[in-house]
Structure 1
Amino acid sequence: MNRSQKIYNRALDKYNGGHIESAIKLCDKSISLNAKNRAAINLKGLLLYLKGDLWGSRKIWNMNYKSNNDIISKKYIDGSKDDEIRFRLYGRSLMLIKELRINEALKLLQRCAESDFNYIEVNNCSALCYIKKGEYQKALKKIDNVFKVDADNFKAKKNIKLLEDVDVVKKRFDIKRIIVIFLFVTCMILLLLVGIHRGIINFKNYSGNKKYEVKVRKDHNILKKDVFAREDVEKYIQAKDYDSMYFQFDKWKNKKLSAEDKRLLSTVHQILNGEGCLYFYNLGSKYLDNGDYDNAISYFKKSYEVGNKSDLYPHITYFLARSVDLSGDHSSALKYYSQYDKSFPQGNYEESVLYRLAVLYRGMNSDISKSYAKKLLDRYPGSIYNNSIIDSILHS
């Protein structure tokens, strides 16, 4: 077996093991040694095809067909004729996802999945859509499809992290981190034992030395001084730890900071306003569906406080009001329902909001209750909420 073929076999093994980038590099190496190695050329074309590089894959197959008269390459080219349409559909699906029109996006992605073109990204986007819909098993299947081809895919790992955050997938242990912590603790124990043995640390003398004790207390107070933990915040950003980012933002947003720290906190705010807002909203929705109103309120409030520029904000406001209402805190529910009515009078939930405002104000202020009931009747005369309760409010 010649060297080119051996390298091609290694490329095939890498591909079957889910290491697409390594497989492409080995294909290039195999082709450089033998430009007539039709199998290596076809495999490289297929790998580019799976990654969504339609022009690159066709160029490779066309070269193989013309130079080596390879019939399989010709079949690949003929079979990819409709993929330009699929690529446009894929682009459209991305826009629909941004607009939170998830069901429409999924329909387009299902059409894209009719061929293996752009296989990785189509599955990644489908997984994200299913996560947003709460259909986690379908999302897992799509993520698994990606890992079979690209075991190190960043987007697939990000989607797995989303599933870990909602407890669908058990969080994986970071072995390297555990080893580092273990070694650090072991070293500290050894140093402590050596120090005691040599008399460097003398607990007897320490307890009897009042001056030293006072000094330690003073130093301890200095150490307890509140300082913006820049390095920790940078780690939270890297790890997409939205809860910790929110805690830091809420803690420091109104405090005096250096220009550099202000820029970092601004970055945190931008992330929370986008990805973080969605993360909190999804968790809030999960808890609301499960009847856990305390946690639902906690996460919807976080989303509400950071997501005022998000397209999700009408949904966040309503579901926060709904969660608070269901928890029995009617006075707070009025606040959020009123906010929704004021900010989103044409929103999807306006009928429900007007109804709850009319009902909740019924025992508190009959005039305000009547005004909301009349508003509901005037705007939505055919609404299902125009029932006997609204009728009794209007005629009380």
Structure 2
Amino acid sequence: MNKSQKIYNRALNKYNNGYINAAIKLCEESISIDIKNKASINLKGLLLYLKGDLDKAQKLWKMNYQVNGDEVAQKYLESSKKDNEKIQFYKKALGLIEKFKIDEALVLLEECTESDFNYINVNNYSALCYMKKGQYAKALEKINNVLKLDVKNIEAKENIKLLENIDIISKKNNIKKVCCISFIGILIACGIFLIVNKGNKSIVGFIKFFNIGTMKAQNINYENNKKIENVNGKIDKNIKKTFPLEDMGNYIKNKDYDSMYVQVMNWRSDKLNSNEENLLSEAYKLLTTEGCVYFYNLGCNYLKNKDYNNAKTYLKKSYEFGTGNELYPHIIYMLGTSFDLSGDLKGSIKYYEEYDGNFSDGSYEETVLYRLAVIYKDLNMEQSKSYAKKLVNTYPESIYNNSQINNLIN
């Protein structure tokens, strides 16, 4: 057996044991020794194909067919031509995920599974979607599909850790029932579905949160914006407020949403001239779109870091301007979760019930019903039973249908 073939065998072994990147490197080494090693060329093409690099895979198979006359490579090449459509399905699915249209994204990702092209990415994003829907068994199946090929895959390993941390699976990856909510809504909605404000490229990351770091307090000039107090703490009514026309223009230009928020809240009820009204209106529109997303992302990151006060502050800002935004149901749920985890049960009930009342077909409804049933248990047993029954009737296969819920019903 020549050296190239021995290295190919090692590559094949690495592939079979889930070390896809190591296998690719060994294939390259094998090919560099013997360009006519058909098996090494085909294997490298296959591995790139599984990773989603259709162009490079096809070039390898084409070269193998033209140079070495390999019929297997020709079959791979012909079969892969159908995968150009899968690329479009995949890209559309990512766009839908960014817009929180999970069910529609899953339909397209399922179309992608008709072949093994882009196998790793398709399974990772499918897992993401199933976690978002609370279908953890299906999510774990997709994660395991990835790990069979790539045991070091960062996204899959992070998803495993997530499921372990929220007690959905044990350290041995066995699905089990859980009795408590942890940070599932926070981690999935804020980490996986991270939206970057307009002007930057939108991204979807796997548990890649904003690195807020040490945020410097913004120096906002309130002198012309607020009622000025005298030394005794009393409002000086003789001093008239002046609309900060130039400052507002700069806030809008620089997308300074925090300062815009302050000004809009200060001036929205005041009588203004046309120029002032136009600027205020422009700021308001920005806050209902990009600003809403900005506040939501900050709130989610504070929530992830267990800074509940700041989480509630920013999520409330997002809530105030998010009524017409597609993020609105997510904002309401995150607010409920913020109050819930901070121990403010009254506040959590307010937002959970708002979610149940307006978005009962949403992605968080299952969790919302569970939390309402549990929270009301010590406050209003009839309400608790009502939500428990609704949970069981609406989601008979829910992971939340545990002994605690059954005891409430019975």
TM-score normalised by length of structure 2: 0.50
Distance of aligned partners of 1:26 and 1:104 in 2 relative to their CA distance in 1, 3 Å threshold: same
Distance of aligned partners of 1:55 and 1:279 in 2 relative to their CA distance in 1, 3 Å threshold: farther
Larger relative contact order (C-alpha < 8 A, sep ≥ 6)?
Answer: 2
Task: Tell me the equivalent position of 2:150.
Answer: 150
Aligned residues: 246
Matched, 1:314 2:329: yes
Task: Tell me the equivalent position of 2:391.
Answer: none
Matched, 1:304 2:327: no
Task: Tell me the equivalent position of 1:79.
Answer: 79
Task: Tell me the equivalent position of 1:7.
Answer: 7
Secondary structure class of the residue paired with 1:82: helix
Task: Tell me the equivalent position of 1:163.
Answer: 163
Q: Mean Cα displacement is larger for which, 312-321 or 68-77?
A: 312-321
Aligned counterparts of 1:126 and 1:150: Cα–Cα separation in 2: 16
Aligned counterparts of 1:32 and 1:155: Cα–Cα separation in 2: 31
1:99-248 map, 5 Å: 99-170=99-170
Secondary structure class of the residue paired with 1:116: coil
Distance of aligned partners of 1:280 and 1:38 in 2 relative to their CA distance in 1, 3 Å threshold: same
Does the 8 Å contact 1:42/1:64 carry over to 2? yes
Please state how far the C-alpha of 1:300 moved relative to its aligned partner: 8.7
Residues 272-329 of structure 1 show CA distances to partners (whole Å, capped at 9, x for unaligned) of 9549828969xxxxxxxxxxxxx9x99995883696689534333267569989x996
Distance of aligned partners of 1:328 and 1:159 in 2 relative to their CA distance in 1, 3 Å threshold: closer
Matched, 1:277 2:296: no
Does the 8 Å contact 1:304/1:313 carry over to 2? no
Does the 8 Å contact 2:303/2:338 carry over to 1? no
Aligned counterparts of 1:64 and 1:331: Cα–Cα separation in 2: 65
- Structure exhibiting the larger radius of gyration computed from Cα positions: 1
Does the 8 Å contact 1:277/1:307 carry over to 2? no
Specify the code of the residue in structure 1 equivalent to 2:315.
Y
Task: Tell me the equivalent position of 1:364.
Answer: none
Please state how far the C-alpha of 1:17 moved relative to its aligned partner: 1.2
Specify the code of the residue in structure 2 equivalent to 1:90.
Y
TM-score normalised by length of structure 1: 0.52
Task: Tell me the equivalent position of 1:21.
Answer: 21
Aligned counterparts of 1:312 and 1:279: Cα–Cα separation in 2: 17
Aligned counterparts of 1:35 and 1:314: Cα–Cα separation in 2: 57
Runs of 4+ that moved beyond 4 A: 239-242, 252-256, 270-273, 278-281, 297-303, 305-311, 318-325, 327-338
Aligned counterparts of 2:31 and 2:298: Cα–Cα separation in 1: 43
Larger relative helix fraction: 1
Specify the code of the residue in structure 2 equivalent to 1:277.
C
Secondary structure class of the residue paired with 1:18: coil
Please state how far the C-alpha of 1:167 moved relative to its aligned partner: 1.4
Flag structure 2 segments of 5+ consecutive residues without an equivalent: 173-205, 220-292, 361-410
Aligned counterparts of 1:161 and 1:38: Cα–Cα separation in 2: 39
Please state how far the C-alpha of 1:48 moved relative to its aligned partner: 0.6
Does the 8 Å contact 2:4/2:31 carry over to 1? yes
Does the 8 Å contact 1:14/1:20 carry over to 2? yes
Specify the code of the residue in structure 1 equivalent to 2:166.
V
Does the 8 Å contact 1:90/1:122 carry over to 2? yes
Task: Tell me the equivalent position of 2:398.
Answer: none
Does the 8 Å contact 2:335/2:351 carry over to 1? no
Secondary structure class of the residue paired with 1:76: helix
Does the 8 Å contact 2:302/2:311 carry over to 1? no
Distance of aligned partners of 1:37 and 1:304 in 2 relative to their CA distance in 1, 3 Å threshold: same
